[in-house]
């Protein structure tokens, strides 16, 4: 069976679907990956051990370029005649599902792992809503990776309920509990990282992980941190990720604050995020929109207490005062209050992180999610008599 997995950019293949594509190859599928070119392309090929085809997707609304990509996908599907096309991310979903529908691919699947439209307004939001509707219309089945996303899709009449499925309790790929475990860290590497960031046991370390953009709530986080740090000199912020100056840039004053504040430790994106979670006292995830955020699963697996915004995706993982703390999105004062509470109530926060750790081990193990997806493919292959 020929299976094609598509994301807009290669970092999604590398991180969002890590080892899932290799797993499908090991279970008898002839798999091809498709995305735009990027620095992570070769790493994804090596990681998954399957071929990769470049289609020059953009993440912006670019009608002419999008038509070119649609035509390239159409030609490729006509040539390869895959049985299954499975897409992730909005642009890859729209163009991939359209091309698969036009060429008669029998099994057309799209995973919803977040919607940019949730943080847009006006005509742009209308365009993005239309894109979601077309994507779902062309697909056989839709897989929102969280219950709150499913609810949003149904309430907005994006597609009929019968098309919508959730794998397990959510997540696109689950989490590797062997990797994200304090027991499996290299003491040598942990010591090296401590030295690199001038780690001090007497400091209290907040950590935020992901793209350093407005959509991730970085402006609110930096503003809240600035206020709190003035009265708590031992408070530090570990900021792991890269700036994105094209798609969703930070205000220049926020970016300057990050680069110049002595208590903010900016670290470019790293594949060793588990080591930083092991050193942090508190994870802050202030995002404005999410699908099903892997970073919360990662922090939870590492027993790092969590404060996050009360948005779809986050609320599917964090139950307020049971597995973490929720604050009103974009509300800096509420965020500051929650951070102050966490600092003053470390024992309670530890209890919440223990509760989350139990849930993650039970429901989000990567092997469980991979098997769920494999069973889905097998069910659909049998249903289509392929």
Burial of 286 (0-12, 13-18, 19+ CB in 10 A): buried
* 3-state secondary structure at position 203: coil
73 and 108 in a common domain:
yes
pLDDT for position 380: 97
Q: Which domain holds residue 211?
A: 182-363
Domain harbouring 113, CATH code: 3.40.50.2000
> How many whole angstroms separate alpha carbon 171 and alpha carbon 146?
7
pLDDT tens-place string over residues 318-372: 999 999 999 999 999 999 999 999 999 999 999 999 999 999 998 898 998 999 9
Per-residue confidence (pLDDT) for residue 247, from 0 to 100: 74
Residues 169, 246: one domain?
A: no
CA count, 13 A, side-chain hemisphere, 281? 21
Note the pLDDT tens digit of each residue in 22-35: 999 999 999 999 99
Residue 12: the pLDDT is: 93
Q: What is the pLDDT of residue 87?
A: 98
Edge-to-edge order in the sheet of strand 107-112: 52-54, 30-35, 2-6, 84-88, 107-112, 141-144
Helix then strand then coil, in percent of the chain rounded to 5, is: 50, 15, 35
**What is the pLDDT at residue 295?**
94
Q: CA end-to-end span of the chain, whole Å?
A: 8
Rounded to whole angstroms, the Cα distance separating 253 from 178 reads 40
Helix (H) or strand (E) run with residue 383 in it: helix 366-383
- State the DSSP string of 345-356: -HHHHHHHHHHH
Q: What's the total number of domains in the chain?
A: 2
Same-domain pairing of 205 and 105: no
Residues 220 and 77 in one domain: no
Residues 6+ apart with CB under 8 A from 23: 370, 374
In this structure, the answer to whether residues 108 and 253 fall within a common structural domain is no
pLDDT at res. 238? 98
Same domain, 147 and 211: no
Residue 375 and residue 356 in one domain: no
**8 and 147 share one domain:** yes
Q: What per-residue confidence (pLDDT) applies to 362?
A: 87
Angle at 131 between CA 128 and CA 135, to 5 degrees: 145
Please tell me whether residues 243 and 346 are part of one structural domain.
yes
**Is residue 131 located within the same domain as residue 248?**
no
On whether both 59 and 158 belong to a single domain, the answer is yes
Specify the pLDDT at position 268.
Answer: 93
106 plus 9 within the same structural domain: yes
- Please list the ranges in the chain whose pLDDT falls under 70: none
Residues paired with residue 204 on neighbouring β-strands, in sequence order:
235
């Amino acid at each position: 069976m020929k299976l094609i997995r598509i994301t807009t950019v290669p970092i999604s293949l590398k991180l969002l679907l890590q080892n899932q594509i290799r797993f499908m190859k090991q279970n008898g599928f002839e798999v091809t990956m498709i995305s735009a070119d990027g620095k992570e392309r070769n790493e994804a090929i090596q990681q998954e051990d399957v071929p990769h085809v470049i289609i020059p997707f953009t993440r912006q609304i670019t009608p002419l370029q999008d038509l070119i990509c649609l035509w390239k996908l159409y030609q490729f599907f006509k040539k390869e005649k895959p049985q299954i096309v499975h897409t992730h991310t909005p642009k890859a979903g729209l163009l991939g599902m359209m091309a698969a529908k036009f060429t008669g691919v029998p099994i057309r699947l799209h995973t919803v792992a977040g919607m940019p439209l949730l943080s847009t307004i006006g005509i742009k939001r209308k365009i993005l809503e239309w894109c979601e509707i077309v994507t779902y219309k062309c697909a056989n089945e839709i897989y929102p990776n969280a219950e709150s996303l499913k609810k949003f899709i149904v309430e907005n009449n994006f597609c009929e309920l019968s098309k919508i499925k959730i794998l397990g309790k959510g997540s696109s790929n689950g989490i590797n509990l062997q990797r994200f475990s304090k027991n499996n860290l290299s003491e040598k590497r942990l010591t090296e990282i401590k030295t690199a960031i001038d780690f001090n046991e007497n400091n209290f370390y907040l950590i935020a992980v992901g793209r350093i953009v407005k959509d991730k709530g970085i402006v609110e986080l930096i503003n809240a941190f600035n206020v709190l740090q003035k009265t708590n000199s031992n408070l530090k912020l570990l900021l792991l990720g890269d700036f994105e100056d094209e798609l969703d840039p930070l205000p220049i004053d926020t970016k300057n604050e990050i680069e110049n504040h002595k208590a903010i430790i900016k670290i470019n994106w790293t594949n060793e995020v588990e080591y930083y979670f092991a050193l942090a006292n508190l994870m802050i995830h202030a995002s404005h929109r999410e699908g099903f955020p892997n970073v919360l699963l990662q922090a939870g697996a590492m027993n790092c207490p969590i404060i996050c915004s009360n948005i779809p995706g986050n609320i599917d993982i964090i139950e307020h005062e049971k597995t973490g703390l929720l604050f009103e999105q974009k509300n800096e004062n509420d965020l500051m209050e929650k951070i102050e509470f966490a600092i003053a109530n470390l024992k309670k926060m530890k209890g919440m992180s223990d509760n989350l750790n139990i849930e993650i081990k039970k429901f989000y193990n990567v092997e469980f999610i991979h098997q769920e997806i494999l069973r889905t493919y097998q069910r659909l292959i049998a249903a289509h008599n392929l």
